[in-house]
């Protein structure tokens, strides 16, 4: 097998590969990549270079990981996971990503495709109107600076208190939609000014809101699906992919500059400037952690107010109420985050960058409704091919710090995608496939064409076979909103 | 414009990158600015109803260009605007201890019904970021997070 690296990559089993510390000076632990042979062979050189760079960071525990949707990123690869000793290890914005708490949310309905299809155009128009997307869009939630700081501290709970959601939503959000330790004092005015008007907006790039269908043949585990409120029979669900928008990006940018200087003070050297970091317990590390938690909570709030708008749109179009339509939240989970979590006897600062928490059955962090089955894991595919709902496993708790993949992963640059297909043509082709798209930008639409992504089924089958998450259902798009 | 820019394919798979060149330092700043504002929206579709003046000072040229491009991204979000054109002046302090930029920005509030909006750029990154000079010719490579 030919790989895009000169390093030695040892096979552990059909879905797990390891690069030993001898392959790069400074590696403190091995690097491990979850991939089928075909996916490993297609991975770009950046994955191998970057996951081994991560393995050199101070305080790293056991190994640096990359998931099968991995590809080159800033600092960490996308799909990167690493755990650090909170006492002696570092925290790095490059291990979280610029879009802090970018994540996925899935909402169920009692509606079927046959009920939605006649009103799909109206529904997508209403969703497009209520959930702004694209360059410079502003949300419907108007807050002043004092209120925005409350959003930073309280996350989704702030929204519920304001009437943007249901009390039951909170238990179905990772960390109940609020990370402890958010400290607005460590957020710059620039970040606040970028974020204060963006609550309730999708953004652009690979972010989307999608109306999907779950058919009987696409449910792989009926009992687990039922526990999440999925019954099949062409049931309609709604998926949201977005994060902390410009606010989170500014927090990350601000602290990369702080950490570049701090590294000299603490005598830390890194293989890549975008891995700038500081000791977690240092003043700089704690300040970033406080600001990052603010951005994470704002992202939870963003997805919560978007959920409110989705419920209102469905209620208006179907002349009903969100409760009567059964619009319960299935789950909300981050895939760009750093959190202190307990594994075995110890606590570790786990960085997930384009990787999803996947806690197994019995985890005390899970709500009662999911404790027996494990945590729902939402993995978004391209807008043409569909997405998956999976569930966490105890093997993930042991092998991957309770982590798994987050999406399909790109195989083609944005410029290449735009040369391969025009947005207007893609819009028509997708309509013929039964997928109604509303997009702000035709060039942005072309950049997200399905041909630019890996086949998500191949990626999902890898984590399923590796045992770090199990497939529950495949979700097929019928409507998509893009920035 | 005494400079050119081109978007690069294979530098940042999930994001965007461009290389800007100019036959002088002001020309480099002009072309890099044009590349960024064209990434956000087609300037030909943006009205000229909003104006702002920006003055910045940084210790070196690399930092000045980096911070300036990030300032444009900040203004896009904070004021919900896109840009028609920017008039720039760049000069060194008399003792060369700092570089100063004076910019006059012209654009309009975001309007999806009239503007050809493109990518909602989230920021300029340090990945492979470089500003180089060969004789009188200047070149910058910039990766944008989308």
Domain at A106, CATH number: 3.90.1860.10
For all residues of chain A together, what is the average pLDDT? 96
Give the pLDDT score at A99: 95
Read off the pLDDT of residues B24-55 as tens digits, 9 standing for 90 and up. 999 999 999 999 999 999 999 999 999 999 99
Please tell me which residue, A213 or A204, carries the higher pLDDT value.
A213
Report residue A283 as tokens: 């003043």
Q: State mean pLDDT over A21-29.
A: 98
Shortest CA distance to A333 belongs to which of A406, A401, A382?
A406
C-alpha distances in Å from residue A173, one per residue of A106, A170, A176, A198, A332: 10, 5, 5, 21, 5
pLDDT at B12 over 80: no
pTM: 0.96
From the DSSP assignment, how many helices (H) and strands (E) are in chain B? Answer: 2, 7
Determine the Cα–Cα distance for residues A54 and A34; give it in Å rounded to an integer.
Answer: 16
Q: State mean pLDDT over B54-78.
A: 97
CA geometry: angle A388, A393, A394, nearest 5 deg: 170
The band of A336, judged by pLDDT with boundaries at 50, 70 and 90, is: very high
The band of A404, judged by pLDDT with boundaries at 50, 70 and 90, is: very high
Inter-chain CB proximity B122 and A413 less than 8 Å: no
Inter-chain CB proximity B13 and A443 less than 8 Å: no
Give the pLDDT score at A302: 98
DSSP A143: -
Of B112, B123, B127, Cβ closest to residue A134: B112
C-alpha distances in Å from residue A239, one per residue of A60, A144, A429, A445: 34, 29, 22, 18
Are the beta carbons of A482 and A203 closer than 8 angstroms? no
pLDDT at A383 over 60: yes
Q: State mean pLDDT over A435-448.
A: 92
Of A44, A73, A249, Cβ closest to residue B123: A249
Instruction: From chain A, pick out residues whose CB is under 8 angstroms from the CB of B117.
Output: 134-136, 440-441
In a domain, A1, yes or no: no
Are the beta carbons of A259 and A276 closer than 8 angstroms? yes
Of A73, A78, A205, Cβ closest to residue B146: A205
Check CB contact of B122 with chain A, cutoff 8 Å: yes
DSSP A220: S
Are the beta carbons of A244 and A302 closer than 8 angstroms? yes
Inter-chain CB proximity B127 and A274 less than 8 Å: yes
Phi, psi of A217 (to 5 degrees): -70, -15
Are the beta carbons of A331 and A175 closer than 8 angstroms? no
C-alpha distances in Å from residue A436, one per residue of A76, A116, B80: 35, 12, 28
In a domain, A165, yes or no: yes
ipTM entry: 0.91
The band of A304, judged by pLDDT with boundaries at 50, 70 and 90, is: very high
Q: Is A406 marked active-site?
A: yes
Q: How far separated are the first and last CA of chain A, in Å rounded?
A: 39
C-alpha distances in Å from residue A310, one per residue of A47, A125, A325, A423, B76: 37, 12, 12, 25, 26
CATH fold group of domain B3-145: Archease, Possible Chaperone; Chain: A; domain 1 (3.55.10)
Determine the Cα–Cα distance for residues A260 and A281; give it in Å rounded to an integer.
Answer: 17
Inter-chain CB proximity B12 and A413 less than 8 Å: yes
Inter-chain CB proximity B41 and A135 less than 8 Å: yes
pLDDT at B10 over 90: no
Check CB contact of B112 with chain A, cutoff 8 Å: yes
Query: What is the signed CA dihedral for B77, B80, B81, B86, rounded to 10 degrees?
Result: -30
Q: State mean pLDDT over A339-368.
A: 96
Phi-psi sector, A255: left (phi>0), alpha (psi -120 to 50), beta:
alpha
Determine the Cα–Cα distance for residues A195 and A81; give it in Å rounded to an integer.
Answer: 27
Determine the Cα–Cα distance for residues B70 and A80; give it in Å rounded to an integer.
Answer: 26
Nearest-CA distance B55 → chain A (Å): 16
Check CB contact of B113 with chain A, cutoff 8 Å: no
In a domain, A439, yes or no: no
Percent of chain B with pLDDT over 70: 99
Give the pLDDT score at A416: 87
pLDDT at A209 over 70: yes
Radius of gyration over every alpha carbon of chain B, rounded to an integer in angstroms? 15
Determine the Cα–Cα distance for residues B19 and B81; give it in Å rounded to an integer.
Answer: 24
Inter-chain CB proximity B120 and A134 less than 8 Å: yes
In a domain, A229, yes or no: yes
Sign of CA dihedral A110, A114, A119, A120: positive
Q: State mean pLDDT over A41-56.
A: 96
With H, G, I as helix, E, B as strand and everything else as coil, classify residue A290.
Answer: helix
Determine the Cα–Cα distance for residues A156 and A143; give it in Å rounded to an integer.
Answer: 15
The band of A267, judged by pLDDT with boundaries at 50, 70 and 90, is: very high
Inter-chain CB proximity B123 and A250 less than 8 Å: yes
For all residues of chain B together, what is the average pLDDT? 94
Beta bridge partners of A482: A208, A439
Chain A residue with minimal CA distance to B12? A413
Q: Tokens 């700043």 label which residue?
A: B29
Are the beta carbons of B68 and B56 closer than 8 angstroms? yes
pLDDT at A77 over 90: yes
The band of B11, judged by pLDDT with boundaries at 50, 70 and 90, is: confident
What residue spans of A171-282 are helical by DSSP H? 189-195, 222-227, 245-266
- Domain around A239: 10-411+453-482
Q: Could you give the number of structural domains in chain A? A: 1
pLDDT at A307 over 90: yes
Q: How many CB atoms lie within 10 A of CB A105?
A: 26
Inter-chain CB proximity B120 and A443 less than 8 Å: no
In a domain, A401, yes or no: yes
C-alpha distances in Å from residue A361, one per residue of A164, A213, A375: 30, 26, 7
The band of A204, judged by pLDDT with boundaries at 50, 70 and 90, is: confident
Q: Which helix (H) or strand (E) holds A68?
A: strand A64-71
Give the pLDDT score at B96: 86
| Strand ranges in A218-322 using DSSP code E only, listed in sequence order | 235-242, 278-279
Percent of chain A with pLDDT over 70: 100
Determine the Cα–Cα distance for residues A255 and A261; give it in Å rounded to an integer.
Answer: 10
Nearest-CA distance B70 → chain A (Å): 10
With H, G, I as helix, E, B as strand and everything else as coil, classify residue A153.
Answer: helix
Instruction: From chain B, pick out residues whose CB is under 8 angstroms from the CB of A136.
Output: 76-77, 80-82, 109-110, 117, 120
Interface test with B, best of A135, A247, A252, A295 (most B CBs within 10 A): A135
Strand pairing category for A387-392 and A78-84: unpaired
| Strand ranges in A101-203 using DSSP code E only, listed in sequence order | 103-112
Q: State mean pLDDT over A266-290.
A: 96
Please tell me which residue, A385 or A378, carries the higher pLDDT value.
A378
The band of B1, judged by pLDDT with boundaries at 50, 70 and 90, is: low
Give the pLDDT score at B87: 98
Determine the Cα–Cα distance for residues A24 and A2; give it in Å rounded to an integer.
Answer: 19
Shortest CA distance to A292 belongs to which of A197, A149, A179?
A179
In a domain, A431, yes or no: no
């Amino acid at each position: 097998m030919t790989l895009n690296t000169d390093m030695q990559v040892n096979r552990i089993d059909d879905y797990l590969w390891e690069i030993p510390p001898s392959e790069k000076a400074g590696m403190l632990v091995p690097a491990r990549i979850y991939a089928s042979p075909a996916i490993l062979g297609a991975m770009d050189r950046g994955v191998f270079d970057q996951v081994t760079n991560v393995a050199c960071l101070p305080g790293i525990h056991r190994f640096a990981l990359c998931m099968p949707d991995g590809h080159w990123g800033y600092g960490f690869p996308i799909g990167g996971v690493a755990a650090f000793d909170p006492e002696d290890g570092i925290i790095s914005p490059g291990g979280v990503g610029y879009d802090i708490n970018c994540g996925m949310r899935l909402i169920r309905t009692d509606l079927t495709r046959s009920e939605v299809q006649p009103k799909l155009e109206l529904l997508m128009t209403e969703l497009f109107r209520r959930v702004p997307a694209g360059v410079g869009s502003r949300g419907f939630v108007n807050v002043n600076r004092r209120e925005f700081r409350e959003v930073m501290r309280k996350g989704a709970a702030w929204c519920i208190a304001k009437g943007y959601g249901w009390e039951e939503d909170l238990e179905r959000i990772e960390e109940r939609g609020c990370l402890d330790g958010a400290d607005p004092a460590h957020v710059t005015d620039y970040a606040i000014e970028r974020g204060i008007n963006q609550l309730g907006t999708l953004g652009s790039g690979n972010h989307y809101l999608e109306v999907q269908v779950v058919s009987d043949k696409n449910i792989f585990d009926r009992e687990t699906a039922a526990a999440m409120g999925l019954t099949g029979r062409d049931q309609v669900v709604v998926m949201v992919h977005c994060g902390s928008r410009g606010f989170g990006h500014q927090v990350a940018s601000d602290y990369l500059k702080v950490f570049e200087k701090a590294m000299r003070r603490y005598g830390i050297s890194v293989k890549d400037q975008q891995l700038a970091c500081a000791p977690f317990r240092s003043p700089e590390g704690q300040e970033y952690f406080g600001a990052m938690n603010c951005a994470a909570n704002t992202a939870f709030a963003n997805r919560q107010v978007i959920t409110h708008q989705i419920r209102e749109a469905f209620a208006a179009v179907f002349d009903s109420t969100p409760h009567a339509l059964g619009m319960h939240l299935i789950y909300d989970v981050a895939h760009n985050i750093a959190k202190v979590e307990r594994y075995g006897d110890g606590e570790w600062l786990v960085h997930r960058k384009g990787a999803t928490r996947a806690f197994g059955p019995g985890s005390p962090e899970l709500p009662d409704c999911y404790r027996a089955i494990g945590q729902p894991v939402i993995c978004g595919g391209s807008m043409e091919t569909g997405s998956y709902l999976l569930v966490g496993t105890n093997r993930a708790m042991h092998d991957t710090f309770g982590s798994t993949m987050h999406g399909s992963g790109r195989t083609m640059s944005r410029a290449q995608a735009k040369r391969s297909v025009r947005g207007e043509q893609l819009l028509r082709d997708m309509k013929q496939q039964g997928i109604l798209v509303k997009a702000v930008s035709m060039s942005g639409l072309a950049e997200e064409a399905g041909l630019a992504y890996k086949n998500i089924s191949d990626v999902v089958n890898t984590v399923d076979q590796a045992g770090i998450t199990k497939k529950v259902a495949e979700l097929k798009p019928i409507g998509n909103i893009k920035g | 414009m005494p400079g050119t820019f081109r978007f690069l394919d294979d530098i940042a798979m999930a994001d965007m990158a461009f290389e800007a060149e100019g036959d002088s330092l002001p020309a480099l700043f002009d072309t890099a600015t044009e590349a960024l504002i064209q990434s956000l929206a087609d300037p030909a579709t943006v009205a000229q109803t909003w104006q702002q003046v920006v003055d910045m000072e940084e210790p070196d040229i690399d930092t000045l260009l980096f911070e300036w491009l990030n300032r444009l991204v900040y203004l896009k979000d904070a004021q919900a605007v896109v840009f028609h054109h920017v008039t720039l002046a760049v000069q060194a302090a008399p003792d060369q201890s700092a570089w100063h930029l004076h910019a006059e920005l012209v654009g309009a509030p975001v309007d999806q019904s009239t503007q050809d909006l493109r990518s909602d750029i989230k920021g300029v990154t340090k990945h492979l970021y470089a500003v180089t000079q060969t004789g009188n010719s200047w070149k910058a490579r910039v990766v944008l997070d989308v």
